[in-house]
Amino acid sequence: MSRIKRNTFIFLALLITGYATYFIIDAAIFKHSITTGKKEWRNVLFLFKDSVKQDIDTVIFGSFEKRNKDVLVKLHYIPNSSHLKTKDKYNHDDSTRIDYRIDIWQFKELSNYPKDSVKFYFNIDLTNLKIIRGEVLEPHYYNPISIKYGYSFKTFGIQADSKSVITDQLIKGENYKGFMGRLNRIALINEKQDQDIFIDFEPNMQALILVVNKNSSFYFITITCNKPFDKDILNIFDFV
């Protein structure tokens, strides 16, 4: 092997190793970890009224955390299911089964951010959004969430894309506000309009989007269901 070829080979090897090391370190610093304990769902259970807590499934749930940054808890609310075994709660052959899938995301750096300062934007072109340096939470499950490593929020806004059909542009209460519709994709944006987080919904999936101020914390909540529903679902929450 000539010196030129050898030096070229060494250079390429170092370059590839450097990139690989960069992405490994990047993931170690910024990637969300999966948490298996029940502390996380207990920390959000207070958001629900006592009358429905027994129907919040605490066996099948997901939780992702980036320490000191955010906590995402994915829950199932299945009405009148407290007496059922887990396998019966998720019996897809039961045409009467109602399964609300509720994602509750606490952004710790926005703990004092007022929900009235959150802006909603509709009919935005989000077609070409891609995450090159980041992760996708549960890419093969419902509503996969794409997150850019190192994201940060000083302000908070939500964009819904042009393929989403918004049926209610403003749903508002003392401690919350949101919107509802058949959503395709939404993006969460910061003060720089960076679209560092975006969520893809199942085609024509009806969804309710909320931002909530409760107990000096800021929560972003998405609700979807296997059946049609309306904003009366808000009545399961203690902040309404």
**Overall number of domains in the chain:** 1
In this predicted structure, what is the pLDDT of residue 129?
92
Is 10 inside any structural domain? no
How far is the C-alpha of 123 from the C-alpha of 46, rounded, in Å? 34
Is 16 inside any structural domain? no
Is 120 inside any structural domain? yes
Would you tell me how many other CB atoms lie within 10 Å of the CB of residue 134?
18
How far is the C-alpha of 180 from the C-alpha of 160, rounded, in Å? 10
Is 11 inside any structural domain? no
Residues in the chain: 240
185-199 pLDDT, tens digit each? 999 999 999 999 999
Instruction: Specify the pTM.
Output: 0.85
How far is the C-alpha of 58 from the C-alpha of 22, rounded, in Å? 37
Yes or no: say if 78 and 100 are a contact pair by the CB < 8 Å rule: yes
86-144 pLDDT, tens digit each? 777 888 778 888 999 999 999 999 998 999 999 999 999 999 998 888 888 887 777 89
Provide the pLDDT confidence category of residue 57 given band limits of 50, 70 and 90: confident
72-87 pLDDT, tens digit each? 888 999 998 888 887 7
Is 20 inside any structural domain? no
How far is the C-alpha of 112 from the C-alpha of 119, rounded, in Å? 16
Matching residue, tokens 């207070």: 46
Instruction: Print the SS3 string covering 146-170.
Output: EEECCCCCCCCEEEEECCCEEEEEE
Q: 75: domain range?
A: 31-236
Is 116 inside any structural domain? yes
Closest to 165 in 3D by CA, of 126, 214, 206, 104: 206
Residue 224 amino acid letter: T
